[in-house]
Amino acid sequence: MFKRSFTLVIALAILAGSLGLALAGDGNARKGKYLFRKNCRACHLENGKAKDLSPMDLTQAQWQKTFADPSKLACKDEFAKLSKDDLNDIMTYMVEGAKDSPTPAKCK
Amino acid sequence: MAVKLGMVIDAASCIDCKGCQAACKVANQVPDGHWRNWIKRGDEEKAALDRQGLRFQPGNCMQCDKPTCVAACPTGATYKEAKDGVVRIDRELCIGCGQCLAACPYQARYRHPQLRVADKCDFCAERRAAGLQPACVDTCPTKARVFGDLNDPDSPAGRLLRGKASVQVVNQQSNTDPNLYYLGDPGPADWPVQAKMPTPWQFWKSLGGPALEALVGLTGLGVIAMYGRQLILGDHDQPPEHASGHPEGGDHDQHA
Amino acid sequence: MASKQFMVSRRGFLKLGVGAAATATAGGLLKARPAGAQGGLKPGFESKFTVCDMCFNKCSAIARVGDGVVRKLDPNPKFLKSRGMLCAKGNAGLHQLYDPNRLKYPLLRVGERGQGQFRRISWSEALDLAAAKMGAIAKEYTRCGMLFMAGADMQSTFVHRFAEAFGSYNVISHESNCLLSNNRAFLDTFGEVPIPDVLNSKYILMAGANRFESLVTPDSIDLMTTLREHGCKLVVLDPRYTKTAALANEYHAIRPGTDLALMLALMHVLINEGLYDKQFVAEKTYGLEQLRTHVQSYSPEWAAGQTDIPAEAIRRMARELAAAAPAAMVYPGRRSSDYANSTQIRRGFAMVNALLGNWDRPGGLTAARVVGLKGGIPLEAPFYEDNPPERVDSGQARLMFEEEGSFKLTRDAALKGEPYPIKGFFAYHVNPMQTGANRRKTIAMLNQMDFVMVMDVAMTDTAWMADLVLPSQTYLERLDPASAQQGSSACACVVQRDPVAPAMFEAQPVFFVVQELAKRLELGEHFDFTVEEFRAAQLADLPDAPQALAEDGVYYNPSRLYGVYEGKIYKTKSHKIELFNQRYAEAGLDPMPVYTAPAQPPAGQFRLVVGRNALITQSSSTSNALLLQMQPDNDLWIHPDSAARLGVKAGQRVAVTSPAGQQVLTARVTHETRPDTVYMHTGFGVMSRELAAYGRGGCIAAVLVDAVDEISGNMAMHETFVQVAAA
């Protein structure tokens, strides 16, 4: 499937860059959506503690960078609480729905 | 100058969407199969062959200055409103004789099958009384129909009429001086028919003119004659050429 | 004026004598008005804002209501997107509300599927049954065993929400029978689906779109305005002499399926003659040099042989487009469910626009404007571990829109039972029996279901096939969420719908249905709100909106129209407008569209194309009592030469036969179609005997073959060849 081969390309790019977490980006986007809502939207919500957030807010490269090195994020401690698999699922969801992705997310 | 309500129509803007016809049907509760307004079209087969384009021509009762329908009406039910020039029908007076249908060069009238009276466009008198535009004008997507006082140079219609060359669509044998004007090329122009005035009426009129007209009116002779005709002929009294008025309410698919 | 006075006095006289015998009836509109008043008249009707639902355009309208009865629907003059108009269908809307044939109560099938035998049941019985059936399907086949389909309706968002909470990804819209190829192509070129700035355009090349009959606001109206007032030139390419063609400055009866040849030839001229916008292309596009090489063989002379359009005309069109650029465009169009390579065809459309440099500029293609409407109340849907990994239609079309799906591929999967079974169907305000090519397959898909539930206003053909039929309120009875609209240069705006007439019979909104089902399926927490609360959440960022909506029926966001991409990236892989699409290359697709000549109809056969006019919104309008008077059926358009060869005369009944099936309808012998092409309007030939259109015309879905756009998964309907014979 096109989408899969495409995420593989991302994965290779990330590995080549040997960045921090080295998430493969081949997770389960559906589960990632669920985990994003469960773990991130407590703060990343309209009138929430942090900015309302959707995959559409960043490009694929920006999401990869964000997940590769969350150390500068305000919520870096929240990142640390999540398993690598869960983070991989969330990143997959964000990247697959990024604004420059072939199938940008429709709504938040 | 007195108010003279009319329309200035840009046929070139008409897309033949039937919005005006649908709006009119609802606003005036026009019965199934009948229409108070229409969109004429040129020869579409010819247009398709020579690719010179096609023009659509919206229309309705032209509220003529010399209305043959008024002259043909034996009861005075059809009259020209003094205050604005709109030709109206008093349903209490109309006996449904059908003379006005034949007398209209534009076949703008039909006989209401339930009410058994003549009916036609009155520029949505009820809507105007409520401060609204005629339904066809209000709804028109491309605003091809512009309505207003033709005698008022500042009304939208008056402005258009004075600003650009415009024409009336008339039958030269029955030039009724209509108050629908078309800007530029109106498209099909040869469709109005010669008005057919009621024969007995013309005969009487030729004898005595207005005096006899008054006499007939007073005695009610004409009324009885026409009413009797309606009773005899019942619902099927419309001459064949007027039976459906303007059947091309529908799309052209059905008229190939 | 003596005679006039005389006439009046005669009238007065006769009134006494004859008036009593004559039938007098007041007109409809002002029946409820207090009598006598003239001038400064207080109307006896109330005026209430509504939003039309007779097609997808959602025009704001004013309902004139007297005695609780909608007497007339008028346009809202303050609604700029429609340019203050209401079309024939909009005017006919009250016949949907007062349709004697509309669904009144929940109905349960008692006979065989498709036999039309139902019995009335209560809402509680209906909802209990539906919840039990859906629960059983989830248990046996996973939650993805339920297929949801919802049409272009302001409450469809609740069906999508329910599907997600319930746990099925198998949600499809009507869109994959309509416009997805075009969306795919423009998204893969510009990074978003453009809004054409028709009003300010000076040159519009319209290929296959019929904007003066298939009304799109504001494009249809703006097109006439720019033609009449701005001197815009309109060139129409269509195998059919449509009203748009008739009103165009130039028309070519292009051979169906060859639009891409024309687009490639236009690019050939634009590049070889150096007519493209050099600065724009250099700064904002990716892949000009590849494209230059790619189009070398696609000369106007070559394209003339494909399209039947003279080479000099093609060359002239390219030059005229360039001369008018950037206020010039190849109109993007809408329905593009035509060919197996429709995405690539439409890529050609998009790429010509890119060379013209018209993106984000007056008279060209513009980006979606900011409206500011929020998504409503957030959903935290559960995650069901036992669900299959993907949609049932996944992995076939190379770039299917995940959130739209593909009706065609879903139906194929359901028929095969692979990759997993689809055994339940809930359709709302959508009628794939009429709109999905190859009706036999749709019937077969429904027949293999354990449970089919359809909610609509009328007994559509899809409802006719259902086990449970639920009566929907019409738009005039409903309170609906707010809706964001893109109105090009006219506006970016919000509309919302409040009831203008009391609900009739036992009809309900679909929100009620999903809320009640959610309660019964232990999903109640996801629907723990009212529509008003949902709407308030949507409008949270627009504090001025509620007052504007109350006063004007519309809220405008004064957002920017042009230049919104200044300093921003394009949402593509290269972050530029992609003449050469890198992702296509990676996926093994042609990165630039390669022309393949369409198959020609076998001897004695014709290509069947379908469309509509301003009276038709597919099958949802064809049984309307008013519209039916103007459009009583559909017929088969066939060229006189072809008809003569077949011995078919105008008005004769003909059988139209394809591998998908046969329909019998009346021949309309006309020069308005090409000799190799026959044409039908959509929406007729219904199976449901509960519809006024029953027994009229032929059904497109019963003869169209169900090919598929290999990239988007969109239905490809014009790949159909038919035989025509006197019936």
DSSP string, C76-118: -TT-GGGTS---HHHHTTHHHHT-TTS--S-EEE-SSTTS--E
Q: What is the CATH number of the domain that holds B154?
A: 3.30.70.20
Distance from CA of C669 to the nearest CA of B (A): 7
Do the chains A and C touch each other, judged by at least 3 C-beta pairs below 8 angstroms? Answer: yes
Q: Which residue has the higher pLDDT, B197 or B254?
A: B197
Using CB atoms within 10 Å of the CB of residue C664, give its burial: 0 to 12 exposed, 13 to 18 middle, 19+ buried.
middle
From the list B49, B95, B135, which residue is nearest C18 (CB)? B95
Contact between C724 and C712 (Cβ < 8 Å): no
DSSP label at residue C203 = E
pLDDT at B225: 52
Please name the residues between 61 and 100 in chain C that touch chain B, using a CB distance below 8 Å. 71-75, 82-83, 85-92, 94
DSSP label at residue A50 = B
Domain presence at residue B29: yes
Regions of chain A with pLDDT less than 50: 1-5, 8, 11-20, 108
Domain presence at residue A108: no
A34 and C382 within 8 Å at the Cβ level: the answer is: yes
Give CA–CA dist C375/C164, Å, rounded: 15
pLDDT at A25: 78
Interface test with chain C among B28, B46, B49, B51, by most C beta carbons within 10 Å: B51
From chain C, the residues in CB contact with A5 under 8 A are 586-587
Task: Give helix C2-18 / helix B199-219 axis angle, nearest 10°.
Answer: 70
Interface test with chain A among C402, C542, C586, C589, by most A beta carbons within 10 Å: C402
Q: Is A30 on the interface with C (CB under 8 A)?
A: yes
A102 and C394 within 8 Å at the Cβ level: the answer is: no
Above 80 in pLDDT, residue B222? Answer: no
Domain presence at residue A106: no
pLDDT at B240: 38
Q: Is B117 on the interface with C (CB under 8 A)?
A: yes
- Exposure string of C184-194, with b = 16+ CB inside 10 Å and e = fewer, is bbbbbbbbbbb
Cα dist from A33 to A87, C383, C525, C636, whole Å: 11, 9, 19, 49
Report strand pairing: C146-150 vs C424-428: parallel
Q: Is C10 on the interface with B (CB under 8 A)?
A: yes
Write a three-state SS string for C577-599: EECCCHHHHHCCCCCCCCCCCCC
ipTM: 0.92
CA-closest candidate to residue B63, choices B139, B103, B6, B19:
B6
Above 70 in pLDDT, residue B54? Answer: yes
B138 and C18 within 8 Å at the Cβ level: the answer is: no
Q: Is C291 helix (H, G, I), strand (E, B) or coil?
A: helix
pLDDT at B127: 95
Above 80 in pLDDT, residue B211? Answer: no
Number of CB atoms found within 10 A of residue C556's CB: 20
From chain B, the residues in CB contact with C82 under 8 A are 141
Terminal C-alpha separation, chain C? 64
CA C553, distance to chain mean position in Å, is 23
Regions of chain C with pLDDT less than 50: 1-42
Written as one letter, the residue type at B30 is V
C75 and B138 within 8 Å at the Cβ level: the answer is: yes
Locate B170 and state its tokens. 């008339």
pLDDT at C513: 98
Whole-prediction pTM value? 0.90
Number of CB atoms found within 10 A of residue C75's CB: 25
Q: Is A41 on the interface with C (CB under 8 A)?
A: yes
Report pLDDT digits (tens) over C360-392. 999 999 999 999 999 999 999 999 999 999 999
Q: Is the peptide bond before B240 cis (omega within 30 degrees of 0)?
A: no
Report pLDDT digits (tens) over B78-136. 999 999 999 999 999 999 999 999 999 999 999 999 999 999 999 999 999 999 999 99
Locate B73 and state its tokens. 């009406």
DSSP label at residue C475 = G
Distance from CA of B70 to the nearest CA of C (A): 10
Q: Is C677 helix (H, G, I), strand (E, B) or coil?
A: strand
Domain presence at residue B249: no
What is the sign, positive or negative, of the torsion defined by CA atoms of C245, C246, C250, C253?
A: positive
Give CA–CA dist C476/C51, Å, rounded: 8
A100 and C394 within 8 Å at the Cβ level: the answer is: no
| Tokens 């279901």 sit on residue | C449
Show me where the domains of chain C are located. Answer: 107-113+124-179+372-556, 194-367, 605-726
CA-closest candidate to residue C52, choices C456, C621, C538:
C621
Give every CB contact of residue C84 below 8 A, 6+ residues apart in sequence.
C75, C76, C77, C78
Do the chains A and B touch each other, judged by at least 3 C-beta pairs below 8 angstroms? Answer: no
C87 and B141 within 8 Å at the Cβ level: the answer is: yes
Angular region, C146: left φ>0, alpha ψ -120 to 50, beta rest? beta
Contact between C468 and C426 (Cβ < 8 Å): no
C187 and A102 within 8 Å at the Cβ level: the answer is: yes
Q: Is A9 on the interface with C (CB under 8 A)?
A: yes
From chain C, the residues in CB contact with A28 under 8 A are 389
Question: Dmax of chain B from CA atoms?
Answer: 59
Q: How confident is the model at residue B203 (pLDDT cuts 50, 70, 90)?
A: low
Q: Is C325 on the interface with B (CB under 8 A)?
A: no
Locate C287 and state its tokens. 């892949």
Q: How many domains does chain B have?
A: 1
C670 and B127 within 8 Å at the Cβ level: the answer is: no
From chain B, the residues in CB contact with C671 under 8 A are 45, 48-49
Closest-CA residue in chain C for A106?
C403
Contact between C405 and C144 (Cβ < 8 Å): no
Give CA–CA dist C350/C362, Å, rounded: 17
Q: Is B89 helix (H, G, I), strand (E, B) or coil?
A: strand
Locate C488 and state its tokens. 């090009």
Domain presence at residue B191: no
Cα dist from C9 to B76, C2, C15, C16, whole Å: 9, 11, 10, 11
Q: How many domains does chain A have?
A: 1
Above 80 in pLDDT, residue B231? Answer: no
Domain boundaries C194-367, corresponding CATH code: 3.40.228.10
C670 and B115 within 8 Å at the Cβ level: the answer is: no
CA-closest candidate to residue C56, choices C74, C82, C94:
C82
Contact between C340 and C326 (Cβ < 8 Å): no
Range of the domain at B115: 5-186+198-244
pLDDT at A42: 83
pLDDT at C545: 97
Give CA–CA dist C77/C331, Å, rounded: 27
CA-closest candidate to residue B146, choices B160, B135, B132, B167:
B160
Pairs across B and C, CB distance < 8 A: 218
Domain presence at residue B235: yes
A102 and C380 within 8 Å at the Cβ level: the answer is: no
Domain presence at residue B127: yes
Domain presence at residue A19: yes
Report strand pairing: C233-237 vs C203-207: parallel
Domain presence at residue A105: no
pLDDT at B213: 55
Q: Rounded to the nearest 10 degrees, how much is the dihedral formed by the CA atoms of C435, C245, C195, C361?
A: 170
From chain A, the residues in CB contact with C380 under 8 A are 37-38, 41
| Tokens 């090329």 sit on residue | B185
Range of the domain at A92: 2-96
B28 and C27 within 8 Å at the Cβ level: the answer is: yes
C28 and B27 within 8 Å at the Cβ level: the answer is: yes
Q: Is A107 on the interface with C (CB under 8 A)?
A: yes
Give CA–CA dist C390/C419, Å, rounded: 9
B130 and C94 within 8 Å at the Cβ level: the answer is: no
Q: Is C113 on the interface with A (CB under 8 A)?
A: no
Count of residues making up chain A: 108
Give CA–CA dist B37/C122, Å, rounded: 46
Distance from CA of B254 to the nearest CA of C (A): 8
Report pLDDT digits (tens) over A36-53. 999 998 888 777 788 888
pLDDT at B212: 52
pLDDT at C582: 95
Q: Is B173 helix (H, G, I), strand (E, B) or coil?
A: coil
Domain presence at residue B134: yes
Written as one letter, the residue type at A14 is I
Closest-CA residue in chain C for A5?
C587
Q: Is C543 on the interface with A (CB under 8 A)?
A: no
| Tokens 């008249």 sit on residue | C41
Above 70 in pLDDT, residue B221? Answer: no
Q: What is the mean pLDDT of chain B?
A: 85
Distance from CA of C74 to the nearest CA of B (A): 7
Please tell us whether the domain made up of C605-726 is placed in CATH 3.40.50.720. no
Please name the residues between 579 and 598 in chain C that touch chain A, using a CB distance below 8 Å. 583, 586-587
Domain boundaries C107-113+124-179+372-556, corresponding CATH code: 3.40.50.740
